[in-house]
Amino acid sequence: EVQLVESGGGLVQPGRSLRLSCAASGFTFDDYAMHWVRQAPGKGLEWVAGISWNSDTVGYADSVKGRVTVSRDNAKNSLHLQMNSLRTEDTAFYYCAKGPVPAASRVYFDYWGQGTLVTVSS
């Protein structure tokens, strides 16, 4: 059974940093691209970042480009999102999502974690 478990969320002040993690199990982690998708409370979904199976290709939404870095550790079956210079508009549930292929582009998301809440507020 595919399981994706996010951690690292919490309350943080504007301008500070936070690192999210996703622990994956139930599938061959290094065969697939992985992504982060966020959802502000009561709002819709927004793709944030994606990384290919071997980390060669990464992509970011314009809204976070330059402030966020996605990475993965295939030896530990883990995905990470380093978020810097956080803004109030970054407040959202952050979901770890699995792509169906090794490439990071042109993909839908076939499995999702339960999400971790990031609240940016002073």
Binding site for another protein (CB under 8 A): 44-47, 59, 61-62, 95, 100, 105-115
CA dist 3 and 106 (Å) reads: 23
For the bound state, the minimum distance from the C-beta of residue 95 to another protein, rounded and expressed in Å, comes to: 6
8 Å CB contact between 79 and 99? no
For the bound state, the minimum distance from the C-beta of residue 83 to another protein, rounded and expressed in Å, comes to: 18
Give whichever of 44 and 122 is closer to another protein, judged by the CB atom: 44
For the bound state, the minimum distance from the C-beta of residue 63 to another protein, rounded and expressed in Å, comes to: 9
Q: Which residues contact 15 (CB under 8 A, 6 or more apart)?
A: 85, 86
